[in-house]
């Protein structure tokens, strides 16, 4: 072990003042789970129903990522950009010193060496998280590769990211602990220049499992900018078509927009196979052959439970049959888990807050952001070689959002730069994964709004550069499963039937489908999308694919206003793309006038 790490650990310990320090090597899972049961943090589930699985109930105030308490502390405010909460680094350090001073009193400080990516891969990056939460240690063991081998890699000269986490609930002498200690003064802080993470107050997922959003995306994106790669909020799958050809596809969707479902897609068309490589985060680098190659830096799934059922994602259900940690779902009377969307509601449950629940209660039994956490290997769809060190060369990148209007089922970008424009302008109706009003449209560029560790406009510029530096970049598409008709009904059946969209995309990659040019990109030509057996009439298909010049013209106004927020940092290419789009819409409008 390096003295650098030892010194850092003692420095954090003298600040936080834990009762003791425990170095974790990855072998402690069972012991910690037993401890969590003893403390009441974990409720063991019925082993006959779900072996070696547990339910955690958080404090009802600690249930989601807290974006307004997430800070990017770069030296210059403009380097955080208008979409991040910037805080002056020295002032933040002072604040953190106050918050963390004595914050681990009465607790054990765990030291977790972890790797994002296969240990030893040139795409892997290492971190050390210290935390006073055994729940965090147990979850980190599922979500990352926790191993003392990481210390060897660091000793051999690899860089590492220091990550400090405390629930912020010191225990006085003899004070009884609560099942879910936390502190309302949540701070999730990233220092991009020194590549450090400090998180205080929350034990919940993205706030406390610091390998995930904090390291793999916020700090990851700044490492990627500096080192010439991309750290993305994307799933990663390998698709085999009926001819046996394989295609690697990454896809970015805002949180809770069906990413896990696509990652484990159960194909509805015969002869297709979809294998899961990752469900949330993808790191993309340039490959020697002029393509982009990708890995999943994570080691487990941390998926939203509600809405997961036999019809929507049987594969996800199969992944959590055992060795699963559930957070904030409901408990059945026979010691198993339940959430809205799993099945018909049972007559009685214990809800996510620990209260009695019946269908008449008029409340959700599971929190809408409740989660399941399982090792990646348990996904029945996992690619046998999912964690190969060399990664997967990308054939296509998809951008999605939850759009009731305007955005067709699938659109292919004209080229890389247009694809970056598509990624920059995706929007989604707000979901439950973050705090805030559900249902409002929010622009979520690259699904990275809460996760980009630097100025979003500089990030777009980085994307433009990366694609133009390789000879054979992936093709970029935009998809939208969620378009609604005038009665507010989602028109496309979605889920397994999204295979049909994948099928069209592959047809484009193979140059078998021609598509049809529109001002916003290429959509399927009539008859190209296989809708056999779906019972969708021509009129509905027309509405699903429609590109309406007037409402798109209005959308360009919104995009322009959004872009204006980035001031001079906005890459001129984005403005050029916007002008191009407007010209095309004008032309379409004129053609419509002539035709009518
Ligand atoms: C997640 C998220 O937890 O995006 O993956 O919020
Ligand atoms: Mn996510």
Give the model confidence (pLDDT) of 47-62 as tens digits.
999 999 999 999 999 9
| Tokens 């009193």, residue located | 105
Q: Write the CB contacts of 531 (distance below 8 Å, at least 6 apart in sequence).
A: 500, 541
Q: CB of 165 closer than 6 A to ligand 1?
A: no
293 - beta bridge partners?
285, 393
Q: CB of 57 closer than 6 A to ligand 1?
A: no
Q: Nearest 5 degrees, angle CA 322-CA 137-CA 53?
A: 15
Q: How far, in Å, is the centroid of ligand 1 from the Cα of 9?
A: 29
Q: How far is CA 430 from CA 254, 256, 315, 386, 402, in A?
A: 9, 9, 26, 31, 9
pLDDT at 182 over 60: yes
C-alpha dihedral (296, 299, 302, 308), degrees to nearest 10: 80
| Calpha distance 316→378 (Å, rounded) | 9
Q: What is the mean pLDDT of the chain?
A: 96
pLDDT at 312 over 60: yes
| Tokens 């002032």, residue located | 91
pLDDT at 442 over 90: no
Query: Starting at the edge strand that comes first in sequence, how are the strands of the sheet with 521-523 ordered?
Result: 273-278, 234-240, 246-252, 396-400, 475-479, 410-412, 521-523, 516-518
Confidence class for position 2, pLDDT limits 50, 70, 90: confident
Phi and psi at 378, nearest 5°, equal -80, -10
Is the overall model pTM greater than 0.85, yes or no?
yes
pLDDT at 466 over 60: yes
| Tokens 């996800």, residue located | 316
**Is 257 annotated in the active site?**
yes
| Calpha distance 290→393 (Å, rounded) | 10
| Ligand 1 nearest-atom number relative to CA 433 | 6
472 token code pair = 């054979």
C-alpha dihedral (33, 37, 43, 45), degrees to nearest 10: 60
- Is residue 314 within 8 Å of residue 380, measured between CB atoms? no
Alpha-helical runs (H) found in 470-548:
499-509, 538-545
Give the model confidence (pLDDT) of 487-524 as tens digits.
989 999 999 999 999 999 999 999 999 999 999 999 99
| Ligand 1 nearest-atom number relative to CA 371 | 3
Range scoring the smallest mean pLDDT among 31-45, 367-381, 436-450: 436-450
Q: How far, in Å, is the centroid of ligand 2 from the Cα of 513?
A: 32
pLDDT exceeding 90 applies to what percent of the chain? Answer: 94
- Is residue 130 within 8 Å of residue 12, measured between CB atoms? yes
Q: Given this model, what pLDDT does residue 586 score?
A: 96
Nearest ligand to the CA of 435 is 1
Q: Given this model, what pLDDT does residue 435 score?
A: 54
pLDDT at 441 over 80: no
The closest residue, in CA terms, to atom 4 on ligand 1 is 255
| Tokens 């049972």, residue located | 346
Classify the C-alpha dihedral 570-85-209-161 as positive or negative: positive
| Tokens 């295609």, residue located | 247
Helix, coil or strand: residue 58: coil
Give the model confidence (pLDDT) of 525-540 as tens digits.
999 999 999 999 999 9
Confidence class for position 430, pLDDT limits 50, 70, 90: low
292: nearest Cα among 397, 220, 410, 218: 397
| Calpha distance 431→439 (Å, rounded) | 7
Q: How far, in Å, is the centroid of ligand 1 from the Cα of 206?
A: 7
Q: What DSSP character marks residue 156?
A: T
Q: CB of 255 closer than 6 A to ligand 1?
A: yes
| Tokens 């060897």, residue located | 152
Range scoring the smallest mean pLDDT among 105-119, 242-256, 435-449: 435-449
The closest residue, in CA terms, to atom 3 on ligand 1 is 206
| Calpha distance 211→421 (Å, rounded) | 29
The closest residue, in CA terms, to atom 2 on ligand 1 is 255
- Is residue 273 within 8 Å of residue 247, measured between CB atoms? no
The closest residue, in CA terms, to atom 1 on ligand 1 is 255
* Residue 576 CA to its chain's centroid (Å): 30
pLDDT at 85 over 80: yes
Phi and psi at 145, nearest 5°, equal -90, 105
| Calpha distance 293→225 (Å, rounded) | 16
Q: CB of 433 closer than 6 A to ligand 1?
A: yes
């Amino acid at each position: 072990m390096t003295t650098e790490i030892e010194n850092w650990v003692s420095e954090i310990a003298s600040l936080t003042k834990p009762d003791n320090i425990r170095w974790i090597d990855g072998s402690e899972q069972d012991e910690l789970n037993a401890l969590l049961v003893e403390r009441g943090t974990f409720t063991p589930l019925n082993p006959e129903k779900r072996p070696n699985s547990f339910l955690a109930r958080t404090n009802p105030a600690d249930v989601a990522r807290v974006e307004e308490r997430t800070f990017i502390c770069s030296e210059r405010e403009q380097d955080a950009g208008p979409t991040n909460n910037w805080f002056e680094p020295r002032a933040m350090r002072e604040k953190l010193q106050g918050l963390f001073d004595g914050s681990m009193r009465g607790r054990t400080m765990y030291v977790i060496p972890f790797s994002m990516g296969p240990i030893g891969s040139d795409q892997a990056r290492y971190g050390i998280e210290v935390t006073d939460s055994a729940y965090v240690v147990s979850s980190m063991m599922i979500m990352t590769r926790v191993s003392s081998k990481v210390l060897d890699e660091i000793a051999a000269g690899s860089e590492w990211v220091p990550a400090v986490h405390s629930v912020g609930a010191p225990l006085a002498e003899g004070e009884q602990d609560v099942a879910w200690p936390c502190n309302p003064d949540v701070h999730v802080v990233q220092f991009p220049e020194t590549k450090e993470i400090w998180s205080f107050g929350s034990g919940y997922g993205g706030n406390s499992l610091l390998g995930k959003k904090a390291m793999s995306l916020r700090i990851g994106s700044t490492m990627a900018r500096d080192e010439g790669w991309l750290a993305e909020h994307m799933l990663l799958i390998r698709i085999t078509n009926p001819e046996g050809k394989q295609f690697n596809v990454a896809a970015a969707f805002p949180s809770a927009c069906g990413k896990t479902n696509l990652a484990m897609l159960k194909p509805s068309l015969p002869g297709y196979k979809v294998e899961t490589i990752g469900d949330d985060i993808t790191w993309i680098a340039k490959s020697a052959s002029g393509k982009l190659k990708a890995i999943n830096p994570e080691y487990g799934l941390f998926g939203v439970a509600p809405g997961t059922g036999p019809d929507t994602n049987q594969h996800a259900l199969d992944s959590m049959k055992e060795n699963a940690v559930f957070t904030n779902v409901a408990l059945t009377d026979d010691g198993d888990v339940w959430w809205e969307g799993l099945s018909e509601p049972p007559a009685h449950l214990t809800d996510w807050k620990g209260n009695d629940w019946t269908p008449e209660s008029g409340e959700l039994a599971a929190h809408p952001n409740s989660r399941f956490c399982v090792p990646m290997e348990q996904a029945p769809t996992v690619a046998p070689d999912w964690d190969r060190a060399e990664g997967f060369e990308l054939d296509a990148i998809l951008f999605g959002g939850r759009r009731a209007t305007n955005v067709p089922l699938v659109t292919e970008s004209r080229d890389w730069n247009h694809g970056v424009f598509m990624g920059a302008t995706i929007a989604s109706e707000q979901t439950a994964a973050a705090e805030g009003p559900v249902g409002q449209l929010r622009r979520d560029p690259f699904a990275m709004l809460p996760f980009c560790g630097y100025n979003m406009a500089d990030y777009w510029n980085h994307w433009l550069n990366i694609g133009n530096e390789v000879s054979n970049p992936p093709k970029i598409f935009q998809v939208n499963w969620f378009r609604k008709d005038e009665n507010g009904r989602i028109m496309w059946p979605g889920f397994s039937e999204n295979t049909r969209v994948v099928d069209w995309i592959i047809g484009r990659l193979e140059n078998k489908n021609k598509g049809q040019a529109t001002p916003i990109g290429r959509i399927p030509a009539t008859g190209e999308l296989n809708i056999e057996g779906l019972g969708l009439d021509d009129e509905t298909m027309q509405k699903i694919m429609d590109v309406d010049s007037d409402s798109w013209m209005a959308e360009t106004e919104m995009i322009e206003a959004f872009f204006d927020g980035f001031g001079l940092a906005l890459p001129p290419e984005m403005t050029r793309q916007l002008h191009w789009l407007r010209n095309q819409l004008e032309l379409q409008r004129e053609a419509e006038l002539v035709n009518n």
